[in-house]
Chain A
């Protein structure tokens, strides 16, 4: 009796220990960045896991750099454009692939999936030529184009999967009511696809927000950089100094929007990710 109880308690402790380790593993790097960003540069190399006194000088330093502010603006423009374009194209493509019967539908789906399997590096030089030809080098347009290429496949796949689950009779009811395909898509399907759209939109946003390789390659001047590149290029007074404080402050600043977005859409994402699992 007592043995069993002991076992239960031990199991519970073990479980929470495991949860604790996982939490630590996931959150500690960000926590340490926050802590570091709040320290004056003189204390930087004293290892401590607690903030004794809040010092905002790093934030002031970062936010006073016009290049960093421009980078944030660029990132916002690029990420929002990518999300908007990917959702619009993804939704219309999903309608065609999910609701219209035509020859070669499966082939198209597999091609779409195939595109997403190329590693970034493989298409880098080709894409560079495309962007040069389109005269989009060193402008947000080039980044929007290249991110959209990588975002669309999974957007189309996820939205198609959800679109297929909507009952046929719903679409037919709309047709009988006199709705055109566009009206059916926007007035009937889109409201029902919100969870899926929130999920894919957020994933697209995060991908565009964090992307580094294309952003480094396709931009040249500080005024066109996006945040990840701008942070990497923050430099100190001399070649031998890495300004950890401002870098950490900048990282925290650009992470906060993501955290807020995830919190806002969290319930939607959960329902979006599980909606396909059980029949509603």
Chain B
């Protein structure tokens, strides 16, 4: 097994910088997910690690050995491609055995490895089929088998689930998690889907326009996003954002006045007074209560999902607020609600999108601050 270290890795295509100064340490046996919007450079970063693209500047180490100039097999990686890229004219058996044949393993070892791989991935009965006679999920497993067969130290996945339908995606996701547990090899996984990232990763690397926004466990990213970008990217439905102005309120943190929600003090440290900030609150941290008369927010829509419901609330200017509540709920479209939220679970971002640091420890939870419409 192997660890992977990136030191100030850069990639340029012509004059466009696609990867900028990425430094990262991936531990032995870790499952790391690169996530980010389409075009942010996830695949490119993965291909740099694989050895399919050359590194313009910086160092890539696998187990303390600099591997910038090694070929993919020399680096000891296996890769699962987005389109699977199975060899169409070869049977499942030959697809899995191709790499072993090229590595000149003797016939017996080869057959053992193939049948072992096939057993792990439940491909035993399909070994004589051609890829065109397989379903999407089976092709996916063959692609994984081909990547695994040479027992690489590091397995790389580039959006492996994006060609599967929704239910198969959940199933295969679980199989990949199980496979990681079973093989124990280092895995690096690329996806644009934050749900996949959250469910699979030991650690998530959020990429944005070629640089690393934040690295951390799924929980850390969810609870303490370092930037507005991460806050908006991780979590579904998305975090609510509101423009506010803030004033320092001494040791207590930062006082903000929220249009429609009144004044409130958040335990966040801010540097400059009277700054325009962005408040971020996740839908599940907004607590709705029935309002009387014309106070509060108008309910634009209620999405009922069985175990929970989402309220879409009208804001005078800006995007509708989303608020999660237990279902069934007493709220109906056209009604009005007031909102409260836990000040410790709200986030503040400065003009550049950086999160303001927390003052008190997040585990000491005071009673929710009350906020009502003015």
Q: Is A176 an interface residue (CB 8 A)?
A: yes
Known: A169-B82, A183-B102. A176 touches B77 (CB 8 A): yes
Residue numbers in A under 8 Å from B330 (CB-CB):
none
Instruction: Pick the interface stretch among B84-92, B308-316, B344-352, B358-366.
Output: B84-92
Contact A173 B81 (CB under 8 A): yes
Cross-chain pairs A/B with CB under 8 angstroms, 6 sampled? A172-B81, A173-B87, A175-B71, A175-B72, A177-B73, A177-B150
Given A175-B71, A176-B78, are A169 and B83 neighbors across the interface (CB < 8 Å)?
yes
B102 contacts which of A170, A177, A191 (Cβ < 8 Å)?
A: A177
Let me know if A172 and B52 touch, CB within 8 A: yes
Closest A residue by C-beta to B97: A177
User: Nearest Cβ in chain B — how far from A28, in angstroms?
Assistant: 42
A163 CB → nearest B CB, Å: 15
Cα of A188 to Cα of B89 in the assembled complex, Å: 8
Q: Which residues of A contact B (CB under 8 A)?
A: 167, 169-170, 172-179, 183, 187-188, 191-192
The distance from the CB of A178 to the nearest CB of chain B, in whole angstroms, is 4
The distance in angstroms between the C-alpha atoms of A191 and B79, with both chains bound, is 23
The 6 closest A-B pairs by CB, nearest first: A177-B99, A169-B85, A178-B73, A173-B85, A191-B89, A178-B102
* Cβ–Cβ < 8 Å partners of B52 in chain A: 172, 175-176
- Give chain B residues whose Cβ lies under 8 Å from the Cβ of A174: 87, 98
In the complex, chain A residues whose CB is within 8 Å of the CB of B73:
176-178
Given contacts A173-B86, A173-B87, A175-B52, 14 further A-B contacts (CB under 8 A): A169-B81, A169-B85, A172-B81, A173-B81, A173-B85, A175-B71, A175-B72, A176-B52, A176-B73, A178-B73, A178-B99, A178-B102, A187-B98, A192-B88
A194 nearest in chain B by CB position: B89
- B327 at interface, CB cutoff 8 A: no
Q: Is the beta-carbon distance between B102 and A176 smaller than 8 angstroms?
A: no
Inter-chain contact B87/A176, CB cutoff 8 Å: no
**Provided the pairs A177-B98, A177-B99, A178-B73 are in contact, do residues A167 and B83 lie with their beta carbons within 8 angstroms?**
yes
Chain B contact-residue range equals: 20 to 34
Contacts of B98 in A (CB 8 A): 174, 177, 179, 187
Contact B50 A176 (CB under 8 A): yes
Residues 72-128 (chain B) with a chain A CB within 8 angstroms: 72-73, 77-79, 81-83, 85-89, 98-99, 102-103
Complex Cα gap A183–B146 (Å): 17
Assess the A188–B87 pair: CB atoms within 8 A.
Answer: yes
Q: How far is the CB of A233 from chain B (nearest CB, A)?
A: 47
How long is the Cα–Cα vector from A165 to B88 in the complex, in angstroms? 14
Complex interface: chain A residues within 8 A of B78 (CB): 176
Closest CB in chain A relative to B49 CB, distance in Å: 12
Chain B, residue nearest A169 (CB): B85
Residues on B with beta carbons closer than 8 Å to the beta carbon of A169: 81-83, 85
Complex contact B102–A179 (CB within 8 A): yes
Contacts of B147 in A (CB 8 A): 176
Chain B neighbourhood of A176, CB < 8 A: 50, 52, 72-73, 77-79, 99, 147
What B residues does A173 contact at CB under 8 A?
79, 81, 85-87, 146
B85 touches A178 (CB 8 A): no
Q: Which residue of B lies closest to A172 (CB)?
A: B52
Contact string, B43-55, partner A, CB cutoff 8 A, digits 1/0? 0000000101000
Contacts of B79 in A (CB 8 A): 172-173, 176
Q: What separation, in Å, do the CA atoms of A178 and B87 have in the docked complex?
A: 14
In the complex, are the beta carbons of B87 and A170 less than 8 A apart? yes
Residues of A within 8 A of B71 (CB): 175, 178
Of all chain A residues, the one with the shortest Cβ separation from B87 is A188
B103 touches A170 (CB 8 A): no
CA distance in complex: A71, B102 (Å): 45
Q: Report whether A167 and B85 are in contact in the complex, using a CB–CB cutoff of 8 Å.
A: yes
- B278-310 interface with A by 8 A CB criterion: none
Q: Which chain A residues border B83 with CB–CB below 8 Å? A: 167, 169
Q: Are B103 and A172 in contact (CB under 8 A)?
A: no
Q: How far does the alpha carbon of A167 sit from the alpha carbon of B99 in the complex, in Å?
A: 19
Instruction: Report whether A172 and B87 are in contact in the complex, using a CB–CB cutoff of 8 Å.
Output: no
Q: How far is the CA of A167 from the CA of B146 in the complex (A)?
A: 18
* B311 CB, min distance to chain A CBs, angstroms: 44
Closest B residue to A191 by beta carbon equals B89
Rounded to whole angstroms, the CA-CA distance of A175 and B77 in the bound complex is 11
Chain A residues with CB under 8 Å of B50's CB are: 176
Question: Nearest Cβ distance between residue B100 and chain A, in whole angstroms?
Answer: 9
A178 to chain B: which residues have CB within 8 Å?
71-73, 99, 102-103, 150
- Is there contact, CB below 8 Å, between A177 and B81? no
Closest A residue, CB atoms, query B81:
A169
Q: Contact at B85–A177, with CB atoms within 8 Å?
A: no
